[in-house]
Structure 1
Amino acid sequence: MKRINLSDVGIAVYLLCAIIFFIVPIPSILLDVMLAINISIALIILFNVLFVKEVLDMSFFPTLLLFTTIFRISLNVSSTRLILSTGDPGNVVRTFGNFVGGGDMIIGTIVFIVLVIIQFVVINKGSERVAEVTARFTLDAMPGKQMAIDADLNTGAITDEQAKERREKIQKESSFFGAMDGATKYVKGDAIAGLIITVINIAGGTTMGATRQGLGLQEALLQYGILTIGDGLCSQIPSLVISLSTGVLVTKGSNEADFSGVLVKQLFGIPRVLYLVGSVLCFLGIFTPLNTVLFIALGAVFLVTGKKIDSMLGVEKIEEEVEQIETEVEEIRKPENVVSLLKVDPIELEFGYGIIPLADINQGGDLLDRVVMIRRQIALELGTVVPIIRLRDNIQLNPNQYIIKIKGIQLAEGEILFDHYMAMNPGFVEEEITGIPTYEPSFHLPAIWISEGQRERAESLGYTVVDPPSIIATHLTEVIRNNIAELLTRQDVQNLVENLKESNPVLIEELTPKLLGLGEIQKVLQNLLNEGISIRDLLSIFETLADHAAVTRDTDVLTEYVRQSLKRAISSKYFPANEVTSIVTLDPKIEQEIMQSVKQSEQGAFITLDPERTKNIMDAVEKEVNKLESLGKSTIIITSPIVRMYFKKLTEDYFKNLIVVSYNEVDSGVELQSVGMVTA
């Protein structure tokens, strides 16, 4: 804290001095001290810029430019006041005028003008342009960098924390270069102001000397001109150093390296170049009228340096090879670290080498982008976050084969033909096209592989045509959607609870952990996701749980209460508006039979129905399901609320896509038409 306070005080005093110097006259000895401090700060900035490893290490450089500019201008005002009032601006100004300017008005003027031209025309102009272009390109590159981070995150190359750090760095770079684009205008304005102040000083000083001190015009011009040139040099040299620092920083880019070390290595790191330069210099010294001794000596220096660097590089290469061999031997000797092998990725997509171009951004593949969209799509659709999807190639697979794993276990596989398209008949296309017969991997529908040349014709005939990346993405989406309940962990539930707690703290405090534990909430959410019900409306779900958890902690019963509170969402999912939906009902006798067979235990409820009776009921269900499918309708069975969850458990092993809804989950505006009844 003490260091922070001293820093704050130092900065405040620095700025306060700048403001005071505009108003209060200062003695020449104090001006000397301040001019020396100003030169020191300029040199500190220059050497800091040279040796920082990346530009963000000097992220406050634009603010620093403003501070140093205002301080330097305030010193200009103070020195001008001393020159015009006393004719004695102090040792530093006088020394710069006499020593740097050679004590000659003309020489000093020329040196000053040359400095101004170098600063204003060369350094300032270039720095301003580089800062402007860098700011523009940094902003333009932001979306691409963000997508690259998302791609690395999805492939597991980086962690969430690393992705967050990279995004923050991109934001900081954008802000820095944008600020530098504006800050270079300070330096440009400072150079112009210095030039104007010098002209005013010469004119004002000459007038003061001639009118008030009785000097001749030439004598006044000489005396005040030298002082003014000294004053101009005192301000322009630090200004030139700051301008140079600005130019170095904006041209340095975002390279994370020691600037001077890299610069020297790039200039003198290739011995062949030094040999050529040395030979050319020796040739010029021998065969031209140029100074023979100078050019031959300089050429010899380059030749010897080249030879030395060549030998150093040879030694470094041998050392690297030895170090690499030693590292490999150490790795072999080290006991294997098997801890990393114990980790199981939630979702993996492995593919053969023939599919690599689809996942390689450099080859135009967009599979990584599609994976990002899958996570976004499921988050919007089901209200849960899909874990990181690991993509990796597997040489053990066929070139065009891919497999999908959930928690390390293969659940699905498929095979594509690269540079081909899959054409599927939606049911109404009569004309056939030639191709390689296959099956769509997600829904196992008959399809045909066609070439690029057949694509346009197939689409014109009415076929649904998809490319290989879309096939893989669709298959992956379906596998994730069917297993999303299993992928919902307690940590995911905790994150959802924390997000809702920010806006509804009272609800969360009432619900957990007083009424329900995290595991019980997880079970309810998994029950919903298992039947494809979105949990995005977490507020309604938790409100319902809080209402009924005091009565029962049975997660199956609580799930039914939640489903009834979500009846509007369930109705809009299964029953289209302004349409009559065909459904099948369940015989009340079967409902009563199922309820009588339900037994309660510590592990929950289970059904003790006779196997033969179960088979008869399932046969009846299959008959009604086939009837709905023949009509092209969704297979929906409606039951009474009390029996819905038990009937769903009874049928889920036989009919995966069967939708079971209770009467209490149907919105009042829905129109239904019963086309059959499950009875046996």
Structure 2
Amino acid sequence: MLKNLDFKNNADFVIAIAVIIVVLMLIIPLPTVLLDVLMAANLTLSLLIVLIVIYTPRAIDFSSFPSVLLISTIFGLGINVSSTRLILAKGANFDGKMVRAFATFVTGAGGTEGVAIGFVIFIILIAVQTFVITKGATRVAEVAARFTLDGMPIKQASIEQEYNSGLITEEEQRKKKLELQQESDFYGSMDGSTKFVSGNVKVGIFITVINLIVGMIFGMVLHKESFDVALATYTSLTIGDGLLSQLPSLLVSFATGLIVTRSASDGRTTIGSNVKKEFTQSAWIYIIAGGALAALGIIPGFPWYVLIPMGALIFYLGFRLLQIEKKKEKTAEEETEKKKAPAGPSGISPVVPLDALSLELGYALIPLVDEEKGGDLRERVGRIRRELGLDLGLVLPPIKMIDNSILEPNEYCFKIRGVEVGRATVRMNWYMCMNTGSVTEEIEGEKTTDPAFGLPAIWLTEDQRDRAQRAGYAVVDSPTILVTHLTEMIKSRAQEILGRQEVQSILDTLKKDFSAVVEEANKHFTVGEIQKVMQGLLREQVSIRNTVSILETMCDYAAITKKTDVLVEKVRQRLGRQICLQYADEKKTIHVLTIEPYFVEKLDASRVETINGPIAALEPSDQRNWISALSASIVAVQEKGYLPIILAPEAVRVLIKSSTEREMPNLVVLSVPEIDKEIRIESLGEIKVGS
């Protein structure tokens, strides 16, 4: 079992061992050599923590800081307890080099004056750490934790709004939400962790008092030392030991204060970068400050040899900053001139970018996107993108919303890659009312047509809304009309939105989990051929979300054919259950119309192969009779409350669709092989052409 442990790379194992050692240090006596090594390690660890904080752009980038803070605190206390044990036990014979070195450095070579000065400095150091750094860091941590938690709902709503507006992708949304949760957890942990720092300072003071008072008692009683010798010995050792325990603690307290005050940072730059940027905003600050110092140095009695050189240095710094500012302004002007310069010989860029999807609004409809005025169109459009992604398997690009002064005030226009696909007019603060067949009272209103489904409707004002609802009208507000129309336009044009780049993105994402399928598909088909098949499915509202099944079916028939129309039919058969469930009722029954065999044969005989697939080249009289008979049958089916669905043999399904696409673009045509074995078929009649 031990052979399987990776001692070099298993960081968790190393930390676990270190924690156990720290706990044991509180109990087991240590030799002075090992104590010196651990004291040096504690000092180094504290220094590393400070440097890591300084070079960390965001607080959450050092998310392990609260845990590190706890471990370093216990580590320092363990060393402090061990050193106290040795000092009390050995007294003047204590040979800890680190403690002796720090004591000598602060107190000097010796003497009562050096000890007194060293002790005063030590007390001041403890006071600064206790009442300034630790208390301030604790308070900042408390405030940061409270404000982070209070602002979390607003930040989450902002992220949702950015996603709904199409400004960020779903992956970026998840990443931002995760970072927000990490930030909240971090400041919540820091609020508690700062108590470790303040507690460590208090315990350090307590241990220092024990070292001094109890040490003197031990020295005089147990070691038979005189009062003067005991005082000098234990005061010196107490100062050395106290400095070695309080200095790392001071560094950690300083690091704590730094990291909790990083909340105002932009999250991309370190403390040094921020300070440099903010202290060099204006050169005149240094010029004025340098002049003031130099003027102060001229006054009699002031140390001119300090103030005048310092003022001159600061003045020179300001002068250099002023030169840099002028150089930056000149460079910015040159860049502006370059941008204004023509992009080519004709003054026009060789590539004029187009928005993939855009919704243009007349000026009267601008309040629909103004959130301050209660507009929620951006949020609704965001929901459309998510819903269509689930329904059709097509991730829509962001829909850019812009105002267009050319449009009528209440008019809107939807474009795909700069080409208009639909426009309509809605009236703000009015309601569109449609008769769904259950109206009990006719209401007079401004006649109009529902832009999404072409149904007759009327416009009514707010004060007539309740009356229309009581009368049985379907009442819809303007934003809902716009969003519904937008949804239908996207569904009917989904195949135009799916480009090669979108298909490549789908394949790249799919390759992470289904590399074998994607590699085989790329081996047999180009991206363009895969795109054509997917477009053929979307053209008839078939979801491409089950991309794996689509690619597998294409690969199954790759050796037989690469004709798009044949591959589309085979993929539809593979997705038969999915397609059937789109149109089946709760009893898994599909109500269909069939076509008389005679006309089916005529359709098949009229097949003409074109570059875009087969079409039905019927005689004009046959085409009129066919459309007429089909229209009559559809009306009869709709009167029964069913969706018109044609069931036909596989060979003519695509011919039926092509022959009716102009007059009935939304007609559902299924082939017999597409019907799943669990789906029941109920015939509503047979279409007879020319009879």
TM-score by length of 1: 0.78
1:103 to 107, 115, 125: 115
Tell me how far apart the structure 2 counterparts of residues 397 and 311 of structure 1 sit (CA, whole Å): 55
1:479-490 pair list within 5 angstroms: 479-490=489-500
What are the ranges of 5 or more consecutive residues in structure 1 without an aligned counterpart?
275-292, 295-306
Structure-2 change in CA distance of 1:609 and 1:318 (3 Å) = same
1:331-480 pair list within 5 angstroms: 331-335=339-343, 339=349, 341-433=351-443, 436-480=446-490
Does 2:96 align with 1:84? Answer: no
SS of structure 2 residue aligned to 1:249: helix
Contact 1:18 1:75 survives alignment (8 Å): no
SS of structure 1 residue aligned to 2:254: helix
Does 2:584 align with 1:575? Answer: yes
Query: Alpha-carbon deviations, 1:376-424, whole Å to 9, x = none?
Result: 1112112222233222232333333221011210011123333344333
Contact 1:568 1:666 survives alignment (8 Å): yes
Q: Show the counterpart of 2:146.
A: 133
SS of structure 2 residue aligned to 1:557: helix
1:72 to 52, 72, 76: 76
Structure-2 change in CA distance of 1:171 and 1:491 (3 Å) = farther
Query: Alpha-carbon deviations, 1:271-322, whole Å to 9, x = none?
Result: 9x99xxxxxxxxxxxxxxxxxx99xxxxxxxxxxxx9999999999999988
Q: Show the counterpart of 2:635.
A: 626
Structure-2 change in CA distance of 1:261 and 1:483 (3 Å) = closer
The one-letter amino acid paired with 2:139 is G
The one-letter amino acid paired with 2:643 is S
Tell me how far apart the structure 2 counterparts of residues 343 and 27 of structure 1 sit (CA, whole Å): 74
Tell me how far apart the structure 1 counterparts of residues 219 and 571 of structure 2 sit (CA, whole Å): 95
TM-score by length of 2: 0.77
Q: Show the counterpart of 1:281.
A: none
1:655 to 649, 661, 664: 664
1:163-182 pair list within 5 angstroms: 170=180, 173=183, 176-177=186-187, 180-181=190-191
What are the ranges of 5 or more consecutive residues in structure 2 without an aligned counterpart?
1-7, 287-300, 303-314
1:263-302 pair list within 5 angstroms: none
Does 2:531 align with 1:522? Answer: yes
Indicate the larger mover: 197-206 or 650-659.
197-206
Structure-2 change in CA distance of 1:66 and 1:409 (3 Å) = same
For residue 253 of structure 1, report the CA deviation from its aligned partner.
0.3
Tell me how far apart the structure 2 counterparts of residues 554 and 385 of structure 1 sit (CA, whole Å): 26
Tell me how far apart the structure 2 counterparts of residues 400 and 135 of structure 1 sit (CA, whole Å): 42
Contact 2:103 2:240 survives alignment (8 Å): yes
Tell me how far apart the structure 1 counterparts of residues 87 and 503 of structure 2 sit (CA, whole Å): 75
Tell me how far apart the structure 2 counterparts of residues 374 and 409 of structure 1 sit (CA, whole Å): 20
Tell me how far apart the structure 1 counterparts of residues 143 and 538 of structure 2 sit (CA, whole Å): 54
Q: Show the counterpart of 2:616.
A: 607
Indicate the larger mover: 54-63 or 414-423.
54-63
1:143 to 150, 153, 156: 156
Does 2:220 align with 1:210? Answer: yes
Q: Show the counterpart of 1:280.
A: none
Indicate the larger mover: 574-583 or 647-656.
574-583
Tell me how far apart the structure 2 counterparts of residues 174 and 504 of structure 1 sit (CA, whole Å): 36
Indicate the larger mover: 109-118 or 82-91.
109-118
Tell me how far apart the structure 1 counterparts of residues 453 and 113 of structure 2 sit (CA, whole Å): 87
1:177-188 pair list within 5 angstroms: 177=187, 180-181=190-191, 183-188=193-198
Structure-2 change in CA distance of 1:208 and 1:534 (3 Å) = same
The one-letter amino acid paired with 2:573 is Q
Tell me how far apart the structure 2 counterparts of residues 320 and 116 of structure 1 sit (CA, whole Å): 43
The one-letter amino acid paired with 2:88 is L
Query: Alpha-carbon deviations, 1:128-155, whole Å to 9, x = none?
Result: 4145335535754552353244246x15
Contact 2:521 2:554 survives alignment (8 Å): no
Structure-2 change in CA distance of 1:616 and 1:425 (3 Å) = closer
Query: Alpha-carbon deviations, 1:153-179, whole Å to 9, x = none?
Result: x15xx6899778766755664565455
Structure-2 change in CA distance of 1:186 and 1:504 (3 Å) = same
Structure-2 change in CA distance of 1:573 and 1:43 (3 Å) = closer
Contact 1:400 1:417 survives alignment (8 Å): yes
Tell me how far apart the structure 1 counterparts of residues 418 and 107 of structure 2 sit (CA, whole Å): 82
Q: Show the counterpart of 2:571.
A: 562
Structure-2 change in CA distance of 1:542 and 1:201 (3 Å) = same
1:197 to 191, 198, 207: 207
For residue 348 of structure 1, report the CA deviation from its aligned partner.
1.4
Contact 2:433 2:458 survives alignment (8 Å): yes
SS of structure 2 residue aligned to 1:356: helix
1:19-38 pair list within 5 angstroms: 25=30, 27=32
Tell me how far apart the structure 1 counterparts of residues 36 and 584 of structure 2 sit (CA, whole Å): 86
Structure-2 change in CA distance of 1:108 and 1:18 (3 Å) = farther
The one-letter amino acid paired with 1:335 is A
The one-letter amino acid paired with 1:523 is K
Contact 1:422 1:450 survives alignment (8 Å): yes
The one-letter amino acid paired with 1:349 is L
Q: Show the counterpart of 2:293.
A: none
Q: Show the counterpart of 1:298.
A: none
Tell me how far apart the structure 2 counterparts of residues 81 and 422 of structure 1 sit (CA, whole Å): 87
SS of structure 1 residue aligned to 2:115: coil
1:532 to 531, 535, 541: 541
Does 2:655 align with 1:636? Answer: no
Structure-2 change in CA distance of 1:584 and 1:36 (3 Å) = closer
What is the percent sequence identity of the aligned residues? 34
The one-letter amino acid paired with 1:136 is L
Tell me how far apart the structure 2 counterparts of residues 420 and 314 of structure 1 sit (CA, whole Å): 60
The one-letter amino acid paired with 1:563 is R
Structure-2 change in CA distance of 1:538 and 1:262 (3 Å) = closer
For residue 593 of structure 1, report the CA deviation from its aligned partner.
0.8
**Equivalenced residues, count:** 654
The one-letter amino acid paired with 2:642 is K
Tell me how far apart the structure 2 counterparts of residues 622 and 475 of structure 1 sit (CA, whole Å): 24
SS of structure 2 residue aligned to 1:103: helix
Query: Alpha-carbon deviations, 1:492-527, whole Å to 9, x = none?
Result: 334444555555555555x52455544333323222
Query: Alpha-carbon deviations, 1:450-489, whole Å to 9, x = none?
Result: 4444444544444333333322221111111111122223
Structure-2 change in CA distance of 1:399 and 1:325 (3 Å) = farther
Tell me how far apart the structure 1 counterparts of residues 227 and 462 of structure 2 sit (CA, whole Å): 90
Structure-2 change in CA distance of 1:363 and 1:568 (3 Å) = same
